Chain A
Amino acid sequence: MVTTGKKVKTFIIDGKDVSGTEDQTVIEVCRENNIEIPTLCHLEGLAEVGACRLCLVEIKGSNKLLPACVTKVHEGMEVITASEGLKKYRIKILELFFSERNHICSVCVSNGICELQNLAQRLGMTHVHYPYLFPKFDVDASHERFVLDNNRCILCTRCVRVCDEIEGAHTWDIMGRGIESMVITDLNKPWGESESCTSCGKCVAVCPTGALVEKYKNAVDKSFMYKKDKLKFLPYLTTMREVKNEQS
């Protein structure tokens, strides 16, 4: 995507000459060039946070791995997206996700349409080499239409961002530190009692796993529309952001 008034940078990704404008991130240019990088927290239309670290790439001259979603392009950079080392790291990151909470795909309502599960399959994760922590989180089913299950949350914060940036309600936030962090509504009130929640369902639509779901529904349900229609929902997010950018 080349926009006038912005400087164009030319550089190399996986040995291929590519170009992008100065405000673009590595991930954006990769996607434009059909170079696949796994992501979880990144969602087109939302601000980047670099939380999941799945999009790590190697950049020549840098001694650390950098997340492609928050790394801006610059002239002459050389990016490697799929070295053996990176593949191993990504699988390890996935394993850590699985060990941190209670991700039991076989009984999960999002089984089959979960981004975490899909990535694990796609990247060839076969085992979890870390001990499972089996934390105990209560399910919050106080909302009329939706359910929050922190057992299945990967702390990508997509819900927090979509609620704040697109819906403008900022119902969601993160409480706690490290792996004890959890998403909460309002000031850790039950979701059903939240005054700021508009029940728009955007958080449910963007949740990559089964942490935020529609009540009484599961993945085999035709009417599990929020999650299944993610692809239809994405252009909407992008449009919303473009409108916002124009206004500011």
Chain B
Amino acid sequence: MSRTITIDPVTRIEGHSKITIHLDDEGKVNDARFHVTQFRGFEKFCEGRPFYEMPSLMARTCGICPVSHLVAGAKACDDILAVRLPDAAIMLRKIMNLSQIIQSHALSFFYLSSPDILLGLDSPVQDRNLGGIVKANPELAKNGILLRKFGQKIIELLGGKRIHPSWVIAGGVSTKLTEEQRKTMLGWIPEALKAIQWTLDTVKPLLENFREEMRTFGNFPSLFMGLVNENNELEHYSGKLRIVDSVGNIIADKLDPQKYFEYIEEKVEPWTFMKFPYYKPLGPDQGSYRVGPLARLNIIDRCGTPLADQEWAEFRDLERGAVLSSFHYHFARLIEILYGIEKIKMLLDDEKILSTHFRAYAEPNNFEGVGVSEAPRGTLIHHYKINEQGLITWANMIIATGHNNQAMNKGILQAAKHFIKHDKLTEGMTNRVEAVIRCYDPCLSCSTHAVGKMPMKIQLVNSCNEIIDELIKN
């Protein structure tokens, strides 16, 4: 009699979902599915809205990474306007985007994942949170808070408010950077740099304790996709898309992000609202890829900033070819925080950033626009179509968590196969399955474009679809 285990809800990730683990007749794990059962239909309700409202409207898909949607949305609008952005606008948007990545990575690592790493996956649930970290390693907690604040403070300084700023607009940004603002931000850099370097030094040795997880945590061959700049360095705002395979070979390079629909297709499954995008030429199975920090560090030739490059060299030494274990997403996030801080400093040091040209004015010159950027969790695609009046007639978004959908399912299956040996659910086992998902830091409200919260639990279901065990987590 085969059975299904359902994990419902997955705690400590942004958004809500359910996992079912299907057992075969012998009680062995046969299949694992990550269900997303909510649906928000953001694309539907922007129909009929003026296109230039889209960046801030789309920013509402997500309370965690609004800036990413603002940026991708604004880029899609730039495309509709068919303008060349002033340098200062690009640089300022880059700073905003990097700050978003820093603060989101800090949230993901320090608040959500570091309890697992520092205290271990089998430590009591009540300790595995930021409170537990404060007790066990106050310095780590302090640095986490500092880094998150660093990102938030820059967003606030530029955009006026921390969440949902409307400073990034079609054609550029809405205000000039002042010398004073620049000085303030530069003043925050040394402290942030120190915090991330300390964290890297502290956390790297700890990762050694997770040999088994590294092998079994979403460690499987897949493609990786992300943006790279013209020098094939780490890029989060402009550049072209690159895809590498699990050995590290580049299988597609300099793909025009504007034409994503020519090489990315989305598959739909009846049991989840989240679609499965894949690289068209290789088909739905072979063509499934991962995005996000791990993917970005796997596809580049170098980071492009001195300190991050040193760390990146260590990262690449973890495995031959591409780094495959999803567990290394955590390390990758820390490297990206370091890169982000260095890069922000480089951008701020450039005099051009103070230019009074920070916005291009135009009326719509295209009926269609695509905007692609790297959000904390991976490549983000916004695509709009408008009518003669400039009102939206159609919109599509492919969100980072969507790209990773297939990989998350594969990862859960792998972890379940390894850790679930009997048809009983134990806290440690289910935690490992959940931890796999947390590696991807999935943002489910974005990826299904869905509002509201949904409870979740773990279920074990047999071949006749009967629930034989259940674990409800709050």
**Residue contact A141 to B174, C-beta cutoff 8 Å:** no
**Residue contact A216 to B52, C-beta cutoff 8 Å:** yes
Contact of B167 among A147, A217, A220, A222 (CB under 8 A): A220
**Residue contact A107 to B175, C-beta cutoff 8 Å:** no
Does residue A109 face the partner (Cβ distance < 8 Å to B)? Answer: yes
Does residue A188 face the partner (Cβ distance < 8 Å to B)? Answer: no
Contact of B391 among A106, A109, A141, A216 (CB under 8 A): A141
**Residue contact A106 to B60, C-beta cutoff 8 Å:** yes
Does residue B474 face the partner (Cβ distance < 8 Å to A)? Answer: no
Does residue B281 face the partner (Cβ distance < 8 Å to A)? Answer: no
Question: Which residue from chain A places its CB closest to the CB of B387 in the assembled complex?
Answer: A141
Give the complex CA separation of A219 and B48 in angstroms: 20
Contact of A218 among B48, B49, B169, B391 (CB under 8 A): B169
Does residue A239 face the partner (Cβ distance < 8 Å to B)? Answer: no
A63 to chain B, nearest CB (A): 46
Known: A106-B56, A107-B60. A139 touches B175 (CB 8 A): no
Does residue B363 face the partner (Cβ distance < 8 Å to A)? Answer: yes
CB contacts (< 8 Å) of A219 on chain B: these are 166
**Residue contact A215 to B390, C-beta cutoff 8 Å:** yes
Does residue B389 face the partner (Cβ distance < 8 Å to A)? Answer: yes
Known: A141-B389, A141-B390, A222-B174. A106 touches B169 (CB 8 A): no
* CB interface residues, A 62-103, toward B, < 8 Å: none
Name which of A141, A192, A216, A222 has the most chain B CB atoms within 10 A of its CB.
Answer: A216
A80 to chain B, nearest CB (A): 38
Does residue A142 face the partner (Cβ distance < 8 Å to B)? Answer: yes
Give the complex CA separation of A111 and B59 in angstroms: 15
**Residue contact B52 to A218, C-beta cutoff 8 Å:** yes
B424 to chain A, nearest CB (A): 46
Contact of B169 among A107, A147, A215, A220 (CB under 8 A): A220
CB contacts (< 8 Å) of A111 on chain B: these are 166
CB contacts (< 8 Å) of A147 on chain B: these are 50
Contact of B57 among A107, A138, A192, A216 (CB under 8 A): A107
Known: A218-B166, A220-B169. A138 touches B175 (CB 8 A): no
Give the complex CA separation of A217 and B166 in angstroms: 12
Give the complex CA separation of A141 and B164 in angstroms: 25
Per-residue contact bits, chain B 32-61, to A (CB 8 Å; 1 contact, 0 not)? 000000000000000011101100110010
Does residue A246 face the partner (Cβ distance < 8 Å to B)? Answer: no
CB contacts (< 8 Å) of A141 on chain B: these are 50, 389-391
Per-residue contact bits, chain B 155-183, to A (CB 8 Å; 1 contact, 0 not)? 00000100010110110001100000000
CB contacts (< 8 Å) of A17 on chain B: these are none
A228 to chain B, nearest CB (A): 13
Does residue A221 face the partner (Cβ distance < 8 Å to B)? Answer: yes
**Residue contact A107 to B56, C-beta cutoff 8 Å:** yes
* CB interface residues, A 190-217, toward B, < 8 Å: 192, 215-217
Tier of interface size on chain A = 10 to 19
Give the complex CA separation of A107 and B49 in angstroms: 11
CB contacts (< 8 Å) of B169 on chain A: these are 218, 220-221
CB contacts (< 8 Å) of B164 on chain A: these are 106
Give the complex CA separation of A216 and B170 in angstroms: 8
Give the complex CA separation of A173 and B87 in angstroms: 46
Question: Which residue from chain A places its CB closest to the CB of B171 in the assembled complex?
Answer: A216
CB contacts (< 8 Å) of B56 on chain A: these are 106-107, 218
CB contacts (< 8 Å) of B52 on chain A: these are 216-218
CB contacts (< 8 Å) of A106 on chain B: these are 56, 60, 164
Contact of B389 among A142, A220, A222 (CB under 8 A): A142
Give the complex CA separation of A3 and B106 in angstroms: 67
Question: Which residue from chain B places its CB closest to the CB of A219 in the assembled complex?
Answer: B166
* CB interface residues, B 44-101, toward A, < 8 Å: 48-50, 52-53, 56-57, 60
Give the complex CA separation of A77 and B109 in angstroms: 68
* CB interface residues, A 110-157, toward B, < 8 Å: 111, 138-139, 141-142, 147
B106 to chain A, nearest CB (A): 24
CB contacts (< 8 Å) of A220 on chain B: these are 160, 166-167, 169, 174-175
CB contacts (< 8 Å) of A215 on chain B: these are 50, 390
Question: Which residue from chain A places its CB closest to the CB of B49 in the assembled complex?
Answer: A139
B270 to chain A, nearest CB (A): 30
Give the complex CA separation of A138 and B49 in angstroms: 8
Per-residue contact bits, chain B 353-377, to A (CB 8 Å; 1 contact, 0 not)? 0000000000100000000000000
CB contacts (< 8 Å) of B170 on chain A: these are 216
**Residue contact B390 to A221, C-beta cutoff 8 Å:** no
Contact of B53 among A109, A138, A142, A222 (CB under 8 A): A109
Name which of B48, B170, B363 has the most chain A CB atoms within 10 A of its CB.
Answer: B48
Known: A216-B363, A221-B174, A222-B174. A138 touches B48 (CB 8 A): yes
A189 to chain B, nearest CB (A): 14
CB contacts (< 8 Å) of B363 on chain A: these are 216
Give the complex CA separation of A216 and B362 in angstroms: 9
Question: Which residue from chain B places its CB closest to the CB of A210 in the assembled complex?
Answer: B53
CB contacts (< 8 Å) of B53 on chain A: these are 107, 109, 218
Give the complex CA separation of A219 and B391 in angstroms: 19
Name which of A109, A142, A215, A220 has the most chain B CB atoms within 10 A of its CB.
Answer: A220
18 extra A-B contacts, CB within 8 A, seeds A216-B363, A218-B53, A220-B166: A106-B56, A107-B53, A107-B56, A109-B53, A111-B166, A139-B49, A141-B50, A141-B391, A216-B50, A217-B52, A218-B52, A218-B166, A218-B169, A220-B160, A220-B167, A220-B169, A220-B175, A222-B175
29 interchain pairs, CB-CB under 8 A: A106-B56, A106-B60, A106-B164, A107-B53, A107-B56, A107-B60, A109-B53, A111-B166, A139-B49, A139-B391, A141-B50, A141-B389, A142-B389, A147-B50, A215-B50, A216-B50, A216-B52, A216-B390, A218-B52, A218-B56, A218-B166, A219-B166, A220-B160, A220-B167, A220-B169, A220-B174, A220-B175, A221-B174, A222-B175
Task: List A residues at the B interface (Cβ < 8 Å).
Answer: 106-107, 109, 111, 138-139, 141-142, 147, 192, 215-222
* Across the A-B interface, the 8 shortest Cβ-Cβ residue pairs: A141-B389, A220-B174, A107-B57, A107-B56, A216-B52, A220-B166, A141-B391, A141-B390
